[in-house]
Each structure stands twice: as C-alpha cells, then as structure tokens.
C-alpha cells in the first residue's frame, strides 16, 4: 500500500506536499497559544486538488486541518495528532466581480483587505473587517464567522456570504447557498459559516459587497470613569442609532497606543470611546449632534471630531494597532473574546479588573463596545515561573463572569481548542448534542479538524449543567 505522502504527491505534485521538519514546525500552530503537530503540509491550488487531498486523507483515515493565514486566536487551525495541514493560501484569486449586483466570487486564500482594495474603485468594500484584515484570509473569515469593528452595523461574516463551493468531508463538491436569494432546501450555507473547518473545505466563495458610505464622521470622547463610557454606548443604541462602529479602550491601553503612534490621545482618561457614523449627510449631521449630546450628558471631558481623512485614519490606527503597542510593555499577551449584554459592560469590566488584580496580572481592555464584545488582554512575560497558570485561571474566571451575566463564550474568535471545554457553561447536554448532530451529518468521517469546538462526551455529560425546565 502506498503512503499518504506518496498519494498526495501523485495527486497534487511533489513540491506542493511538504514533510520537512522545519516546514512542519511552521504549521504546528495558529496565532493562539496552542501548539500541535503536523505530519504533512500541502498546498492545493484548485478545487479538484482539494478534493483529491481530502479523498486521500479519508482513504488513509488521516485527520486534516484547513488553514488560511493562521491568524486564528482559538486554536482552530492548530493540527492535532499529526493531522495533515491543507493550506489554502495559494488559492487566492479574485475570480469575478459583479459590480451591478454587488457580489464577487473569490478563492478562500484571498486576503480580506486585498478584496476591499480590489473593489475600491467601484465604490464597494467587503464589510467584515477583523483587526487582522491585512493578513487574514476570507476562507478563514468564513470558518470563524469573523467580525470586526464595523460589524455592529453591517453584521458578521455570515451576513456577507452568499454562496460557497465546498468539498464535503466525503469528497463531494457541492454548492451551498447560491446567487439566488432563496436557494432550495435548508440554509446549509449559514450552517457552514462558523463551522471552524469541521464541515468541509470551502474552495470558492461568493461574497456580498457593500456600498461605501458617501459621508463618514469619526468622533473621540474620553471619560473619567469607564462606566460613563459604557453607559454612553447603551444610551446611543437606545436612542435608535446604530453607529458604524463603537470602540472603547481603557487607560492602560490608551497609554500604550499613544506611546506607540502619538495620535494625541488623552492618556489621563479612564476610557476613550471611538464612535464612527456613516451614511447620507443630513442623517449623519443629526446623529453626530445627538451622539455628542449623549456623550456630554454622560460626562465626556472632550469632544474630538476628526477633521479630515488623515485624522480619521490616525484615530483608527490607534484602535487597530493596539495589540502591537502592547509588546512595548510585556512580551506576551493572552487575548480573550466574550460578549455580554451592553448594559452589563460596566459591571463585567469591574470584575475583569478585580480578577486581574487578584492574579497579579496586567490587563488592558480594547473592545467592540457597541456589540458588548469584550477583549480583555492579559499581559505578561511567560518566562516568569508559574505565570501561565495564573493567566489561564484569570481567563477562565473572565469567561465565567461573562456567561453569568447572560453573555456568550465568543463574539468573533470562535471556540476552537481554547473554549471547547467551556461550551458546557453556555450549553446543556441536549444543546451540545444538537450541534454534534450537525457535525455528524456534515462529516460522517469525523476527519475534518476533529476534536475542536465540541467538548468530549465525558465533559458534556455533566447533568448539573442542565437548566431547570429542560426535558431530560
């Protein structure tokens, strides 16, 4: 019998199937803190090659993991148990653009920002804009149902995916969804988005493109109390406005960013709030006035409205480079991602500070306040003995607090390995079984990125998690 490596080399060519130790080590992990082990890394360039690779893996009963740029933060693309890594990075073409109907067909390895740049001359963009958009692939966005600051108004990736050509785990090439609005049958497209590589591999993606706004206004407020900033966010939403983005940074984060980019951010404020509204000029003018009034009523110290595109870009640069700025303080960070009801933001932030203090960790908060999407960032030096235990303990407490106030495990990073064993905090046995049923239906082989997302049956068999009123 031939080996899997031989089969793969026959299928897609020797030079695109790599087994060298150095190369394998590059693919052992994604951007999370989890390290696995890959046995083979391969680089298919067509749908047919992806199909051949999957069929070969199935034939050899070998698990495989699809991978884009490896920017995932939850370990979703970390290969376990010597899984085959299937890199889609070489399938990165923009296939076609229908400017009239605002749709485009792309390959999964196309970078998020490259798509937006390619359609900019048409007055269009791809709305999901994760902070990693310069380097993450749209295939990865599909796998994680990625978000970004502008998803408050525009919705997450799922709302922008029209159709998917997918190689299912048994090797069939199918179309999920379609360019037509009501494709036949169940919404398999919707089920596939966010399935973290466990339902098959997307090889072509039809995305919805969004009209660029004719007018944009970006405002910056700063507060003496974090609570005032958070309450401003709730008040804006309750007043019937859905700004394009509502982003918040606490003091430690603001200081780090200001040291890094010198945007003139107020480093003595407890929190700063970046608000962006876009649309037609009259509605926009109205909204800017109402938002400023709300911020003032909640005690903003200053009102800064970006005067030109350069100033707007500078304010956004502060938000988007926050993570880079942190390296100046400590060499390592652990980024969390939970969502809580907006009105619980002040309460949960206080818990986060308390938890970090108790574990003697530095914490910074930079987050999508409009969605209630928290990103507490624990900063540390992993060379310090015993620190990882404290980091993990604090992280778990933050997740538990978020769930306890009616929040969810992840807003945009996904579950992967990181949150897999926390799933029973949010879902009862019957709920998890329904998700496992989806997985079994899509992947009867159980070889597509196994052991991610769903906790092992032992950990989800804990009957204490079943809420009262459930039928068991």
Partner 1 sequence: MDLTSFAGDVGGVNDGAVAIAGLSTRGGVLAGSRVVAAPGGINSIQPDEMIVHCGAGTAVDELNQALAAVGQCVSLPASGTVGGALARGLSDTRRLGYGPIRDALLQAHYVSATGHVVKAGGPTVKNVSGFDLCRLLVGSQGTLGFLGHVILRTRPLASVSQWFSTVADPWVTFATLYRPVSVLWDGSTTWALLEGHASDVAEQAALAGLVLADGAPALPSAHRWSVAPSTLRSLAITGSFVAEIGVGVVHRSDSAQPRKADAAIAALHKRLKYEFDPTLRLNPGVEPLSV
Smallest distance, partner 1 to C-beta of residue 429, A:
9
Tokens of 380: 């540390």
Instruction: Please identify, using beta-carbon distances, which residue of 98 and 381 lies nearer to partner 1.
Output: 98
Count each helix (H run) and each strand (E run) in the chain, helices first: 17, 20
Smallest distance, partner 1 to C-beta of residue 90, A:
25
Instruction: Please identify, using beta-carbon distances, which residue of 78 and 410 lies nearer to partner 1.
Output: 410
Smallest distance, partner 1 to C-beta of residue 173, A:
8
What are the start-end ranges of the H helices in 13-46? 21-26
Q: CA-CA distance, 269 to 265, in Å (whole number)?
A: 9
Closest of 153, 152, 372 to residue 279, by C-alpha = 153
How are the residues of the chain apportioned to helix, strand and coil, as percentages rounded to the nearest 5? 40, 20, 40
What are the start-end ranges of the H helices in 298-386? 309-320, 322-326, 345-358
Sign of CA dihedral 35, 40, 43, 46: negative
Instruction: Please identify, using beta-carbon distances, which residue of 26 and 470 lies nearer to partner 1.
Output: 470
Instruction: Please identify, using beta-carbon distances, which residue of 312 and 413 lies nearer to partner 1.
Output: 413
Q: Is 110 left (phi over 0), alpha (psi -120 to 50) or beta?
A: beta
Query: In degrees rounded to 5, what are phi and psi of residue 370?
Result: -60, -30
Instruction: Please identify, using beta-carbon distances, which residue of 108 and 194 lies nearer to partner 1.
Output: 194
Smallest distance, partner 1 to C-beta of residue 472, A:
7
Residues constituting the chain:
472
Is-contact 98 55, C-beta < 8 A?
A: no
Instruction: Please identify, using beta-carbon distances, which residue of 101 and 457 lies nearer to partner 1.
Output: 101
Residues whose CB falls within 8 Å of the CB of residue 181, separated by 6 or more in sequence, listed in order: none
Q: What are the Cα distances from residue 160, in Å, to 125, 131, 220, 425?
A: 11, 17, 29, 29
Smallest distance, partner 1 to C-beta of residue 419, A:
7
Instruction: Please identify, using beta-carbon distances, which residue of 168 and 322 lies nearer to partner 1.
Output: 168
Residue 436, Cα to own-chain centre: how many angstroms?
Answer: 22
Terminal-residue alpha carbon distance, the chain: 48
Smallest distance, partner 1 to C-beta of residue 241, A:
7
Instruction: Please identify, using beta-carbon distances, which residue of 159 and 393 lies nearer to partner 1.
Output: 159
Smallest distance, partner 1 to C-beta of residue 301, A:
23
Sign of CA dihedral 463, 191, 208, 314: positive
Instruction: Please identify, using beta-carbon distances, which residue of 55 and 390 lies nearer to partner 1.
Output: 55
Residue recorded with tokens 């009963």: 61
Instruction: Please identify, using beta-carbon distances, which residue of 108 and 455 lies nearer to partner 1.
Output: 455
Smallest distance, partner 1 to C-beta of residue 444, A:
7
Q: CA-CA distance, 263 to 146, in Å (whole number)?
A: 28
Smallest distance, partner 1 to C-beta of residue 414, A:
5
Smallest distance, partner 1 to C-beta of residue 169, A:
11
């Amino acid at each position: 019998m031939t080996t899997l490596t031989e089969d793969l080399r026959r299928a897609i060519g020797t030079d695109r199937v790599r087994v060298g130790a150095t190369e394998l080590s590059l693919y052992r992990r994604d951007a999370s803190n989890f390290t696995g082990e890959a046995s083979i890394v391969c680089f298919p360039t067509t749908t047919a090659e992806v199909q051949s690779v999957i069929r070969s893996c199935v034939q050899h009963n070998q698990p495989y993991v699809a991978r884009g740029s490896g920017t995932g933060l939850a370990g979703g693309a970390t290969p376990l148990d010597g899984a085959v890594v299937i890199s889609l990075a070489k399938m990165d073409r923009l296939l076609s653009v229908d400017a009239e109907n605002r749709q485009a067909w792309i390959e999964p390895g196309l970078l998020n920002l490259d798509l937006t740049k390619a359609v900019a001359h048409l007055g269009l963009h791809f709305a999901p804009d994760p902070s990693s958009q310069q380097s993450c692939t749209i295939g990865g966005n599909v796998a994680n149902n990625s978000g970004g600051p502008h998803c408050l108004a525009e919705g997450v990736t799922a709302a922008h995916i029209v159709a998917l050509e997918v190689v299912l785990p048994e090797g069939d090439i199918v179309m999920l969804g379609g360019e037509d609005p009501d494709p036949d049958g169940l919404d398999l497209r919707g089920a596939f988005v966010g399935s973290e590589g466990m339902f098959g591999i997307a090889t072509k993606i039809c995305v919805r493109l969004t009209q660029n706004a004719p007018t944009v206004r970006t405002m910056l407020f700063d507060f003496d109390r974090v609570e005032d900033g958070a309450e401003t966010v709730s008040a804006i939403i309750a007043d019937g406005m859905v700004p394009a983005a509502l982003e918040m940074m606490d003091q430690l984060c603001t200081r780090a960013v200001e040291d890094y980019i010198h945007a003139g951010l107020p480093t003595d404020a407890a929190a700063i709030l970046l608000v962006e509204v876009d649309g037609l000029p009259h509605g926009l003018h109205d909204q800017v006035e109402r938002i400023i009034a709300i911020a003032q009523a909640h005690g903003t110290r200053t009102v800064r409205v970006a005067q030109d595109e350069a100033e707007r870009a500078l304010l956004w640069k502060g938000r988007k480079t926050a993570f880079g700025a942190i390296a100046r303080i400590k060499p390592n960070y652990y980024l969390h991602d939970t969502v809580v009801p907006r009105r619980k933001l002040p309460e949960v932030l206080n818990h986060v500070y308390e938890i970090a203090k108790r574990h003697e960790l530095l914490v910074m908060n930079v987050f999508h306040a409009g969605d209630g999407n928290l990103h507490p960032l624990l900063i540390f030096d992993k060379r310090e003995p015993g620190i990882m235990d404290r980091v993990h303990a604090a992280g778990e407490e933050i997740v538990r607090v978020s769930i306890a106030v009616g929040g969810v495990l992840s807003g945009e990073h996904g579950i992967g390995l990181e949150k897999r064993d926390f799933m029973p905090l949010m879902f009862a046995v019957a709920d998890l079984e329904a998700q496992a049923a989806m997985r079994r239906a899509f992947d009867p082989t159980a070889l597509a990125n196994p052991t991610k997302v769903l906790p092992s049956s032992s950990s989800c068999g804990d009957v204490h998690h079943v809420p009262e009123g459930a039928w068991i």
